[in-house]
């Protein structure tokens, strides 16, 4: 059995401040053999000024992860990953982004519906719980139909 973790966010992600070297050292200490750094990339999202930023600077991120991968290669297999916040209208853009870089692992996640983050009250306003859930699951279906460059659906 290979012990691994393929859903790790670092300081490149809007929801984490964790240092990449610290992540790698802790994984080695715990006996983890493989990890994927999968920081968030969400495009076209309406957020308040004080909300977290989930736009991933790929031109900085990718070389950093590739250097880390090389540095730790004897002790840890590091996968270049990304958690792409897909929306049905972003499939082609997502495909182009992912083909541009040597990704090993992509999590396709639906964080938004109609450009609203589903964990924010604005998404739930004027909807019953069932209506909100129907809208969310329909968005997942449409996103999967329009975006095929992913390893797993989050």
**Percent of the chain surpassing pLDDT 90:** 54
Number of other CB atoms surrounding residue 137 within 10 Å: 12
Q: Where does the pLDDT of residue 53 fall: very low under 50, low under 70, confident under 90, or very high at 90 and above?
A: low
Number of other CB atoms surrounding residue 70 within 10 Å: 9
3-state secondary structure of 144: helix
pLDDT in tens, 64-88: 999 999 999 999 999 999 999 888 7
- Residue from 42, 38, 22, 20 nearest 30 by CA: 22
pLDDT in tens, 102-136: 999 999 999 888 878 888 888 899 899 999 999 99
Q: What per-residue string of b and e applies to 24-56 under the rule 16 or more CB within 10 Å gives b?
A: beebeeeebebbbbbbbbbbebebeeeeeebeb
CATH superfamily of 4-153: Metal-dependent hydrolases (3.20.20.140)
pTM here is 0.87
* Cβ pair 113, 139 in contact under 8 A: yes
- The domain limits of the chain are 4-153
């Amino acid at each position: 059995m290979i012990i691994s973790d393929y859903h790790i966010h670092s300081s490149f992600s809007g929801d984490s401040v964790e240092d990449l070297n610290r992540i790698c050292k802790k994984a080695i200490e715990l006996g983890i053999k493989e990890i994927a750094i999968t920081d968030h990339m969400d495009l076209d999202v309406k957020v308040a000024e004080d909300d977290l930023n989930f736009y991933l600077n790929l031109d900085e991120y990718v070389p950093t992860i590739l250097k880390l991968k090389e540095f730790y290669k004897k002790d840890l297999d590091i996968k270049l990953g990304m958690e792409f916040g897909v929306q049905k209208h972003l499939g082609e853009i997502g495909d182009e982004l992912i083909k541009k870089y040597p990704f090993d692992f992509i999590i396709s996640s639906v964080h938004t519906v109609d450009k609203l983050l589903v964990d924010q009250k604005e998404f739930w306003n004027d909807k019953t719980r069932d209506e909100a859930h129907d809208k969310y699951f329909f968005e997942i279906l449409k996103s999967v139909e329009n975006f095929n460059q992913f390893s797993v659906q989050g």
